[in-house]
Amino acid sequence: MNDSADARRQRLAQTIAWCGLQKLVNKPIESGEIKQRRALGERAANHAFAAHQLESASLFKWINRKKVKTMRDEASQMHREARLDEIRPLATQLRAPALKPTADFVEGQSEEARAAIVESVSIARAKLLIEKGIEVPAAGVDLAGGKLLRYTPCGSIADRSPGYESKGFFDWECAPPWDTWVCYDEGRLLAYVPRLLCALVQSGIEVDPAECLDWANDAFVARVFGAAFGTSDDL
């Protein structure tokens, strides 16, 4: 495969063009039941925190031991009833069936295999753009207010919190939707985030315990796409 800076700029331009064709939503309409489950999850978190404070602040911890255990058990029960992991209203957004990757990222996978998975998405996306009569030049790439996200596949240590907080932008392994994939470089998947979704993505990054998500910095962008591409003002 051609993996030059020019080729990567082309893939980025195609990714931006493809995302620009999609109807995007950042505030999905939710049912009363979903809102109740979100509220229950919030109460569960507050209850668990109160139990922690009670245990930490007490000079005689043994006195409150039973109460703390009861509070934690109640918090756990509320969390199970809320089923927060299932609340991902945007899970299908930017995950076109025609662009679904040829394989999943799994532990022990080679860098070459992961790069090939991302490349399969790029090839399929380029083909679809051609079929729509859309030609995308690599020169003068415009992020259109969006940002570039880095994702390090983290396998079994991934957490579902980013998926919940981003309303489903991230999947259960913290991966961004495949429509946004640009390229794979030195252990990281680079994805394009449309402006409308940047705040949701930031919410997911902030609760990422595995630290497998972050925004691409200038140095990384310059190395991947060429020194002439982009500045912090663009990103």
- Residue 216 has a CB neighbour count (10 Å cut-off) of 23
pLDDT by position in tens, the chain (length 235): 457 888 899 999 999 999 999 999 999 888 899 899 989 888 888 888 888 888 777 666 666 788 888 988 998 898 889 888 777 889 999 999 999 999 998 888 899 999 999 999 999 999 999 999 998 887 778 899 999 999 998 754 556 788 888 999 999 889 999 999 999 998 999 999 999 999 999 999 998 888 899 999 988 998 998 866 654 444 4
Strands ordered across the beta sheet of 147-151: 181-185, 188-193, 147-151, 213-215
In the prediction, which pLDDT does 235 show? 40
Query: C-alpha angle 229/225/21, rounded to 5°?
Result: 85
Domain residue extents for the chain: 5-27+89-225, 32-85
In the prediction, which pLDDT does 58 show? 60
Residue ranges of E strands in the chain: 147-151, 181-185, 188-193, 213-215
